[in-house]
Chain A
Amino acid sequence: GAGVSQSPSNKVTEKGKDVELRCDPISGHTALYWYRQRLGQGLEFLIYFQGNSAPDKSGLPSDRFSAERTGESVSTLTIQRTQQEDSAVYLCASSSLDRANYGYTFGSGTRLTVV
């Protein structure tokens, strides 16, 4: 597609339930990133995938958070046993390593509300 697509756009879940968020990056973009944005705050890095390299998971806040990516395509971010503090917008971005076209392209995010 023309941009980064995230689904669902909104998700309301009960505390303790698991949720799965999906990201479809721009075709050909080898790098994919997940960020979390709490209300009125900046972007907090979660995880980074680059090709077949081991992902950089250094930003995942707890072992309840995990993410996978199939090759250079779709990624899913899973949050287990959701807590109220997980409520935020989860943003996915992809980028090319082409010097002329480098730069993150973000999706519109998934707004997660844990009640």
Chain B
Amino acid sequence: NAGVTQTPKFQVLKTGQSMTLQCAQDMNHEYMSWYRQDPGMGLRLIHYSVGAGITDQGEVPNGYNVSRSTTEDFPLRLLSAAPSQTSVYFCASRFTGWWNTGELFFGEGSRLTVL
């Protein structure tokens, strides 16, 4: 019962480096999203996707890119990391059928530190 799987769990980057956070789900969910969680700020939506080939910006998209080539995978790319991107990142997915009231299934998180 894998659910939502995120890798890596921990990562340290230097300013200016690039990296990709991986997210995969095995529940055949059309909707996938990325949030960041910072102390005192709660969870903030970065990008989301309602299906393969479709992505859209959330509340805090600057500095991040996403793509959705398959239903299962939704990677988050940092092209040039900045210290302000130090955070815990969560990937989440859900069904989008007419009966769905939006329950999100979260991964365990990826803790990123940018020096």
Tell me whether A and B are bound partners.
Answer: no
Interface residues of B (CB under 8 A from A): none
Interface residues of A (CB under 8 A from B): none
